[in-house]
Amino acid sequence: MGGFWSHVVEPGFFQSQTVQVALLVGGVVAAVSGVVGVLTVLRGQSFAGHALGDISATGGSGAFLLSINPLFGFLGMGLAAAGCMEAIGVRRVRGRDVATGIVLGAALGVAALFLYFDTTFHSTSGAAITVLFGSLFVVSTSTVPAIVACAAGAFAVVLLLYRPLLLSSIGEDVAAARGVPVRVIGALFILTMAITVALSAITIGAILSTALLIGPAATALRMTRRPVTAMVAAVAIGVAATWVGCLLAYDSFYWPPVQHGWPVSFCIVAVIFVSYLVVDSARWHRLRRANVPAGSQDPAAAAARPLHESSTHDAEVLGSPRTD
């Protein structure tokens, strides 16, 4: 028993300060990503979430240039981009992807420039890897309070605006008819999404941040259509995946081929992806046995047309880190 566990949890895991910070930060970020992620998927804004992550890379790389904490770079750029996308018209379904894509492309170009300056004029090493792919094991302890504060802020927005957010997610016209200020709610949500993505970028990198935002949420929405239940499930899946990812990265110290550890971001994303595949195939088998076409058994099926579109997109987004 003891021998078995010492192989599952290699010695020193819980004593390592690096691991403690990683578990704390990873847990907090995965929790807030789960909650915001479910709303993101329900609102069909997965691509915007992904774009915000990539765009925040510009802020992250700029922060290295200015020698400020990368979290504030991610945050500042993410919030600015969210405001920009909102202003350009990210609310319109038609042309929304184009507006997002244009801003995304320009921002990534600037990120490339900043990273070039980082390596040419600055002693900060590995800015590119850290910004794009992140590492929970290099988060400095001094960042922890800011991360927790941002996460609490994002939670508070979702908690306060839960009803109108959900209503406007299902149908903007219905929500508007009921007196919900759809535009303000949408703007507040995209800003919350920017904060969440910035946190996620610190945790597993800007490029992979979308995996933490969308992955657990999409998995949870495969299991249930009740938003609150889905949020709880997404939080559980996200936190579990992050912690298991940390454990795998820790244990990989003893694995071939390099004998000094696999990247923690890879481990987390791999766990998220596998859990999505498992849940999705389980659902598929269940539906096939019941001989019901996918989707039609859901109580929320009437409102779910955008949900399914977004779900297929999510699978693509999730798959991309593996092929990169």
**At closest approach, how far in Å is the CB of 261 from other proteins?**
4
| CA 285 to each of CA 43, 196, 272, 282, 311: distance values in angstroms, whole numbers, following the listed order | 27, 34, 20, 5, 18
Residue 135 or 219 with smaller CB distance to other proteins: 135
Does 221 interact with other proteins (rule: CB under 8 A)?
no
Size of the site for other proteins (CB under 8 A): 49
Least CB distance to other proteins at residue 158 (A):
21
CB of 34 to other proteins, least distance (A): 24
Contact flag: residue 108 with other proteins (CB under 8 A): no
DSSP 9: S
Rounded Cα–Cα distance for residues 185 and 166 (Å): 10
Please identify which residue in 6, 125, 281, 297 interacts with other proteins, judged by CB under 8 A. 125
> What mask of x and - would describe binding to other proteins in positions 150 to 189, judged by CB under 8 A?
----------------------xx--------xx--x---
Buried b (16+ CB within 10 A) or exposed e, 224-252: bbebeebbbbbbebbbbbbbbbbbbbbbb
Distance CA 304, CA 293 (A): 14
Q: Tell me how far apart the alpha carbons of residues 246 and 102 are, in angstroms, rounded to a whole number.
A: 35
Phi-psi region of 291 (alpha: psi -120 to 50; beta: other; left: phi over 0): left
CA-wise closest residue to 16 among 208, 201, 253: 253
Which of 79, 82, 139, 199 binds other proteins (CB under 8 A)? It is 139
- If one asks whether residue 264 binds other proteins (CB under 8 A), the answer comes out as yes
Question: Applying CB under 8 A, does 123 fall inside the site for other proteins?
Answer: yes
Whether the CB-CB separation of 249 and 260 falls below 8 Å is answered with: no
Which lies closer to other proteins via its Cβ, residue 130 or residue 219? 130
From residue 13 to residue 52, the character string flagging contacts with other proteins as x (rule: CB under 8 A) and all else as - is: x-xxxxx--x------------------------------
Candidates 189-197, 206-214, 247-255, 309-317: pick the segment binding other proteins (CB under 8 A).
247-255
**Cα–Cα distance between 81 and 56 in angstroms, integer?**
8
Q: DSSP for 294-316?
A: TTTT-GGGGG-HHHHHHHHHHHH
Tell me if 234 sits within 8 A of 37, measured CB to CB: yes
Binding piece for other proteins, criterion CB under 8 A, among 49-57, 245-253, 286-294, 307-315: 245-253
Q: Confirm or reject binding of residue 201 to other proteins (CB under 8 A).
A: no
* Gap between the Cα atoms of 23 and 232, Å rounded: 19
Residues of this chain that interact with other proteins (CB under 8 A) are 10, 12-13, 15-19, 22, 84, 87-89, 91-93, 106, 110, 116, 119-126, 128-130, 135, 137-141, 172-173, 182-183, 186, 249-250, 253, 259-261, 263-264
